[in-house]
Structure 1
Amino acid sequence: MSITGEQLQQTARSAARDLPGTDQGRPFVDKLDVYKVAGKVFLIVTDDPDERIVTVKVEPDHGRSLRRRYPSITPGRYLDKKHWPSVGAGEEITEHMIRDLVDHSYELVLDSVPRARRPRAGGEGRRKG
């Protein structure tokens, strides 16, 4: 079942907040809600009622596959277009898919962080299941 743009954004925000070591702020402009782990961006939520999208990090091949399969997934608006697709509401976009994309983006970014700077797994706020 597809979701609305508002549900998409709420799901992405909730998924990000559930991950350990997540910080949220607006370091760029007022309309971009940015989520980071260990100081690195893994999710951007466009806080604009006329442009309800989220932007996540993916491997380039996965990003190309997503863009081919889902019309509402486009090259990222704010970051490197090869690694950062933007996701809008669409027929096949589900809450489960958004949670998976946020989790995957978080893990990709976390893999680039030295172990000593990574948040502890299983810490408070970690999503279960």
Structure 2
Amino acid sequence: MDEKKLQSFCEGLPGITHDYQVDWQADRYHVGGKTFAMLGGDSERKPIITLKCEPNRAVELRETYESIIPGYYMNKTHWNSLYLESDLPTDLFENLILHSYNLVFEKLTKKAQKEIVVE
């Protein structure tokens, strides 16, 4: 999967902010100040995107796809990392980004949600 396409997809979601975490050499995407995606690399600098995921679905995805691992540098129960250099379909990346975004968005206060939707 092309990293630029993933960045564009994340940036196209409502109310997102972006920063770069120098220590981790990773681009982070937030909604309501909470991270929902991180683009960086694993310990061998292989490109990955790390996304929040419902715990049962996270386990199922890891069992189904070799290129999906427990979240690198994140809580292994709630986060998965997907290798960009894999045969995972584009729509899977996009669906999992949306799933992560929605999980984080739903945890925001109603006021914060309304501010994002209005933007």
For Structure 1 versus Structure 2, the TM-score category normalised by the shorter chain is: 0.7 to 0.9
Q: How big is the shift at 1:13?
A: 1.2
Work out which structure has the larger RCO, using CA pairs closer than 8 Å and 6 or more positions apart in sequence: 1
* Unmatched tracts of structure 2, length 5 or more: none
Question: Higher strand fraction: Structure 1 or Structure 2?
Answer: 2
Q: How big is the shift at 1:30?
A: 5.4
Q: How big is the shift at 1:47?
A: 5.8
* Unmatched tracts of structure 1, length 5 or more: 124-129
TM, length-normalised to structure 2? 0.87
Match of 2:50 in 1: 55
Once residues 50 and 79 of structure 1 are traced to their aligned partners in structure 2, the CA distance between those partners, rounded to angstroms, is 16
Q: Percentage identity across aligned positions? A: 30
Give the counterpart of 2:4 among 7, 10, 16: 10
Question: Higher helix fraction: Structure 1 or Structure 2?
Answer: 2
Q: How big is the shift at 1:10?
A: 2.4
Q: How big is the shift at 1:94?
A: 1.4
Once residues 56 and 40 of structure 1 are traced to their aligned partners in structure 2, the CA distance between those partners, rounded to angstroms, is 12
Once residues 100 and 14 of structure 1 are traced to their aligned partners in structure 2, the CA distance between those partners, rounded to angstroms, is 14
Match of 2:64 in 1: 69
Letter of the 1:90 partner, please give it: S
**Two-structure CA RMSD over aligned residues (Å):** 1.9
Structure 1 runs of 4+ with >4 Å offset: none
Q: Deviations over 1:43-77 (max 9, x none)?
A: 00006893110000010100000000000100111
TM, length-normalised to structure 1? 0.81
- Partner-residue secondary structure (3-state), 2:100: helix
Give the counterpart of 2:76 among 77, 81, 96: 81
